[in-house]
Amino acid sequence: MKKQESIYKKLTEAELAGKRAALCVITGVRGSTPRSVGAKMIVYEDGNIFGSVGGGDLEKSVIENALKAIQNSKAETFRHDLLHQHSMCCGGSVDIFIEPIQRKNKLYIFGAGHTGHALAQHAVHLDFEVVLIDERREYIDSIHIEDINKLPLHYKEALTLLPFDQHTYICVMTYSHQHDRDILAYCITKPWAYLGMIGSRRKVELTKKMFTAAGIADKELLEKVDMPMGIEIEAETPHEIAISILAKLVNVKRNSISKSPASASSISS
């Protein structure tokens, strides 16, 4: 008999493949029910499933709830009365917690100087898939951080290779103002969750004037770019600046998960 694949393996596969899905888990039962506490099912964005939480009309309803959870990025617990809601003769009730599996956010750091190094060092602990880009091989090779990707490429080459979507966070902090502007000009019209550029207020104002004059971006789009990057905390050292930037990234990430944060303890019927 072929061994059943682990549900956790399937979840990992979905995350690595960038597939949107939701994990459904029975967290409570009362009376007679087809499955017990701990039964799990994965619902994929296309409606396919792996595993089971009981079959029949109950499972149909759970799939519908899971698809909404994926769409809204909102975790929630649902209570199902099997007899009255689903005409199932078992007669009991079940609580099912549904959690959308979020794609891992990508963080592109352009510039492996002291601040870029510090930002990468801290960001790996905050569930970002970090990519550090710098053509200066000596800078890239001197950085030893587990679980980050290092691209020793010129930014013009790197930009053509990197994917962009609504889960992409971009921090621009190279050694050259012109490089920073070139990267910003390329990225600003791509999809992203966050786009920021380091620099003085004079650099930022000059960049805005140059971009509007050249027709690269209008004022409304430029206002969406975080520049100077980070939250104002009077930061001076590379690590302080990195922390101010990460605070802004976390704020953006949390707000993007849900405008109305889900409560895992709330129960819908």
What confidence score (pLDDT) does residue 259 get? 44
| 29, 93, 112, 264 from 37: Cα distances, Å | 6, 11, 49, 17
All residues at 6 or more sequence positions from 52 whose CB lies less than 8 Å from its CB, including other chains: 35, 39, 41, 59
Query: What's the pLDDT at 257?
Result: 58
pLDDT averaged over 10-residue windows placed end to end, the chain, 269 residues = 69 79 92 89 93 90 93 88 76 89 87 96 90 95 91 93 91 96 96 94 95 95 94 88 94 69 43
Q: Determine the pLDDT at residue 261.
A: 35
Q: Which domains does the chain have, with CATH numbers?
A: 8-103 (no CATH), 105-257 (3.40.50.720)
Residue 265: predicted pLDDT: 36
Q: Looking at this protein, which amino acid is placed at residue 46? A: D
- CB of 109 closer than 8 Å to CB of 131: yes
What's the pLDDT score for residue 4? Answer: 57
User: For residue 41, which phi and psi values (nearest 5 degrees)?
Assistant: -150, 140
